[in-house]
């Protein structure tokens, strides 16, 4: 940033500022680059709803109530209440995320709190900081030591995976 003028040996070096050309506008650069990691990282979100590379972020300060469906990955750092259907994609609940919803997705990663039933086609991960109350339906489930889970787990076998099964609440099941 500062260039040193050659000293003649008679005194201390003198500096003069160098003017650098302006960079691209800040608005052209995304605030969050979620395309580099497939899992949630607490340093990778800002408090706003944004979309980048087929991934949407529900920021920390946002509260969303209603039914949400889509065809891209979703990261929830704020609060969500309702139903969530992103078949073919991943839902990540960040450490500060609070979800009260039934979730249907291909993959679900939970670092925060989820109250509701979860149905996935591939894998469900509940990390150490995760808190889940609800029934789980998935072919693969990972619950890290220290995570909280209360509910029923149903593992889908390979033959059942081809025809996606939606979750049926316990109170709606009938016995013969």
Q: What residues make up the domain containing 96?
A: 45-149
Q: Residue 32: inside a domain, yes or no?
A: no
Strands (DSSP E) found in 111-175: 113-115, 118-126, 131-133, 136-138, 141-143, 148-150, 153-155
- Alpha carbons 86 and 32: distance in angstroms, whole number: 21
Nearest to 109 by CA among 97, 95, 122, 91: 91
What does the pLDDT read at residue 93?
97
Q: Residue 72: inside a domain, yes or no?
A: yes
Per-residue model confidence as pLDDT tens for the chain (176 residues): 455 555 555 555 555 555 555 544 333 333 333 333 344 443 333 334 444 557 889 999 999 999 999 999 999 999 999 999 998 999 999 999 999 999 999 999 999 999 999 999 999 999 999 999 999 999 999 999 999 999 999 999 876 554 444 554 544 444 43
- Alpha carbons 73 and 91: distance in angstroms, whole number: 6
Using an 8 Å Cβ cutoff, are 74 and 53 in contact? no
Q: Residue 21: inside a domain, yes or no?
A: no
**Residue 47 tokens, joined:** 């408090």
Q: Residue 128: inside a domain, yes or no?
A: yes
Using an 8 Å Cβ cutoff, are 78 and 63 in contact? yes
Q: Residue 133: inside a domain, yes or no?
A: yes
What does the pLDDT read at residue 157?
84
pTM above threshold 0.75:
no
Total domain count, the chain: 1
What does the pLDDT read at residue 160?
57
What does the pLDDT read at residue 54?
74
Angle at 147 between CA 142 and CA 153, to 5 degrees: 50
Cα 37 to chain centroid, rounded: 10
- Alpha carbons 52 and 41: distance in angstroms, whole number: 15
Q: Residue 16: inside a domain, yes or no?
A: no
Q: Residue 102: inside a domain, yes or no?
A: yes
Q: Residue 79: inside a domain, yes or no?
A: yes
Using an 8 Å Cβ cutoff, are 131 and 165 in contact? no
């Amino acid at each position: 940033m500062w260039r040193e003028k050659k000293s003649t040996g008679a005194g201390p070096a003198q500096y003069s500022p160098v003017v650098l050309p302006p960079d691209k506008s800040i608005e052209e650069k995304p605030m969050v680059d979620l395309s580099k990691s497939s899992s949630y990282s607490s340093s990778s979100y800002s408090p706003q709803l944004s979309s980048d590379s087929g991934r949407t972020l529900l920021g920390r300060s946002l509260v969303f109530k209603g039914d949400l469906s889509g065809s891209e990955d979703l990261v929830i750092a704020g609060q969500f209440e309702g139903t969530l259907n992103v078949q073919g994609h991943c839902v990540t609940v960040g450490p500060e995320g609070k979800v009260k919803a039934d979730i249907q997705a291909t993959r679900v990663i939970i670092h925060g709190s989820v109250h509701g039933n979860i149905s996935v086609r591939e894998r469900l991960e509940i990390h150490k900081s995760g808190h889940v109350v609800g029934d789980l339906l998935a072919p693969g489930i990972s619950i890290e030591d220290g995570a909280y889970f209360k509910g029923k787990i149903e593992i889908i076998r390979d033959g059942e995976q081809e025809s996606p099964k939606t979750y049926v609440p316990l109170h709606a099941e009938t016995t013969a």
